[in-house]
Amino acid sequence: MITKSNNLVIIEGNLVPAEGAGEPARGRVEIDIATGLIVETGEARGTGDLILDDEHIVLAGIIDQHVHAREDPSGEEVYKESFQTAGEAAVNGGVVAIVDMPNNPEAPVDDQSYLAKKDMTAGSLVDILLYAGVGPGTSPLSFPVPYKTYMGPSIGHLFFRNEEVLRETLSRYRGQFVAFHAEDPIILEENAGAETHALTRPPEAEVEAIDLILRMSDSYGIRPHICHLTTAAGLELIRGARKKGLRVTTEVTPHHLYYDQDNSQAFSNPAYLQCNPPIRTRLDRIALIEGLRSGDIECLATDHAPHTLEEKDRGISGVTQLDTLGPFLFWLMEEGFDLQTLQRACAEVPGRFLGRYLPHRYGRVEPGYMGSLTVLKKESFTVRRSELKTRAGWSPFEGVTFPGRVSHTVVRGQIYPRAD
Ligand SMILES: [Zn+2]
């Protein structure tokens, strides 16, 4: 039973239905400000707090399942980004909720450290779920959380020096959802001296790591999730494991969908596109686009890494993403994605993930779901550094013109206008 207070926010516009449920059509969403929940949806009546014309598209709010906000109890990396600035960048990009990664100087690896970090998220504009870290010797927390494992070195303290310790630790996580950064540390070590960044982290590093993850997950009853997939061969392994009955999911970033080793030279500063895993070949990129479209890659997730310009000049890997995620969806539309597919990959799938750990339902525009929406507008938009909210202050899409932009971001009924 959904109760309704007098504190309603009413939004009318073109609503995108779930896949298979018809075409976008004008409709009305009523959100209760007191609870933040949608209390009613129905036909448009021409009245409301926000009435959007046909240049606008109303989607269930975009959720980013892979963000590095960088704030933790140590405060060491808050110069990069805080939960507040990450929230501002998210709202700027049409993102209503984020899931934050645990590779902090003070990593959330047990009840106490997880709750201490969670306390810090309260002031953010968007909803935040935290991953807990899996590292040598850790065990599951006493309450349900998603877990993240780093196999290789160079990422804080949460990495494994050998497979034996990794196996011993993972055996404690039976039945848990565990996300993996899939790059084989031994292959990375063997190629450390190679000439280019891409050669230091070759595709085999990802493929071998995925192969090991899938085998271990099967042995230990883990529910694996492969983060930021970059290779066609890796996707094939995942498909094969599913055919054998393993429940495995994966995600892809906007930068691995948009850039490849050839077209990245057109970016004003190609060296800034350095990331882990690296930008791959055109053929890999096309396989990733098709994988996302078909649903074999379940969701779009950014791996937002807010390294500063000074750090980028020093060759630190990772790119910022939150500010530009909404406009990026228009590029995917140019690649032939329809709105329902985008809503599935950016709201519904990550929404189900959030709903497993947070006390609300996310990812659909239906009564009882969180009243968070992304409103897009068909209006050409060029990404400029001056309009970014990330503290990192730069974007891999600077200078890129997208055929659309974010018009409003609605979080729990609170409307944030981004454009007229
Ligand atoms: Zn990441």
Contacts of 156-162 with C-beta under 8 Å, sequence gap 24+, read 156/103, 156/104, 156/105, 156/107, 157/107, 158/102, 158/103, 158/107, 158/109, 158/133, 158/134, 159/135, 159/185, 160/135, 160/136, 160/185, 161/136, 161/185
Structure-token pair, residue 308: 């500063």
- For residue 70, how far is its CA from the centre of ligand 1 (angstroms)? 11
**The predicted structure's pLDDT at residue 6:** 72
Confidence band, pLDDT 50/70/90 cuts, at residue 162: confident
What residues sit around ligand 1, an ion, with C-beta below 5 angstroms?
A: 303
Q: pLDDT (tens digit, 9 = 90+) per residue, 43-54?
A: 999 999 999 999
**pLDDT exceeds cutoff 50 at 275:** yes
**The predicted structure's pLDDT at residue 154:** 45
- For residue 44, how far is its CA from the centre of ligand 1 (angstroms)? 41
Q: pLDDT (tens digit, 9 = 90+) per residue, 234-253?
A: 999 999 999 999 999 999 99
- For residue 192, how far is its CA from the centre of ligand 1 (angstroms)? 20
Confidence band, pLDDT 50/70/90 cuts, at residue 155: very low
**pLDDT exceeds cutoff 80 at 5:** no
- Across the chain, mean pLDDT equals 95
- For residue 157, how far is its CA from the centre of ligand 1 (angstroms)? 15
**pLDDT exceeds cutoff 80 at 25:** yes
**The predicted structure's pLDDT at residue 239:** 98
Confidence band, pLDDT 50/70/90 cuts, at residue 1: very low
How does 202-234 read in b/e, with b if 16+ C-beta sit within 10 Å?
bbebbbbbbbbbbebbeebebbbbbbbbbbbbb
- Percent of the chain at pLDDT exceeding 70: 97
- For residue 9, how far is its CA from the centre of ligand 1 (angstroms)? 35
Q: pLDDT (tens digit, 9 = 90+) per residue, 66-96?
A: 999 999 999 999 999 999 999 999 999 999 9
**The predicted structure's pLDDT at residue 3:** 54
- For residue 68, how far is its CA from the centre of ligand 1 (angstroms)? 6
- For residue 101, how far is its CA from the centre of ligand 1 (angstroms)? 7
- For residue 105, how far is its CA from the centre of ligand 1 (angstroms)? 15
Q: DSSP string of 101-127?
A: ---SSS---SHHHHHHHHHTTTT-SSE
* E strands, 80-195, in order: 95-100, 127-130, 132-134, 147-150, 177-181
- For residue 12, how far is its CA from the centre of ligand 1 (angstroms)? 36
**The predicted structure's pLDDT at residue 153:** 56
Structure-token pair, residue 286: 């096309």
**The predicted structure's pLDDT at residue 19:** 83
pTM value is 0.96
Q: Is the peptide bond before 277 cis (omega within 30 degrees of 0)?
A: yes
Confidence band, pLDDT 50/70/90 cuts, at residue 97: very high
- For residue 51, how far is its CA from the centre of ligand 1 (angstroms)? 37
What are residue 46's phi and psi, to 5 degrees? Answer: 80, 10
- For residue 295, how far is its CA from the centre of ligand 1 (angstroms)? 21
Q: pLDDT (tens digit, 9 = 90+) per residue, 323-382?
A: 999 999 999 999 999 999 999 999 999 999 999 999 999 999 999 999 999 999 999 999
**The predicted structure's pLDDT at residue 18:** 85
**pLDDT exceeds cutoff 90 at 265:** yes
The residues pairing with 409 across neighbouring beta strands, listed in sequence order, are 374, 416
- For residue 303, how far is its CA from the centre of ligand 1 (angstroms)? 5
What does the angle CA 82 – CA 73 – CA 117 come to, to the nearest 5 degrees? 80
**pLDDT exceeds cutoff 80 at 224:** yes
- For residue 357, how far is its CA from the centre of ligand 1 (angstroms)? 20
- For residue 227, how far is its CA from the centre of ligand 1 (angstroms)? 7
Q: Looking at residues 270-274, what average pLDDT do you find?
A: 96
- Percent of the chain at pLDDT exceeding 90: 91
**The predicted structure's pLDDT at residue 21:** 82
Confidence band, pLDDT 50/70/90 cuts, at residue 129: very high
**pLDDT exceeds cutoff 90 at 198:** yes
- For residue 148, how far is its CA from the centre of ligand 1 (angstroms)? 10
Q: Looking at residues 6-15, what average pLDDT do you find?
A: 94
**The predicted structure's pLDDT at residue 22:** 83
Report the alpha-carbon distance of residue 387 to residue 89 in Å, rounded. Answer: 10
- For residue 334, how far is its CA from the centre of ligand 1 (angstroms)? 27
**The predicted structure's pLDDT at residue 188:** 92
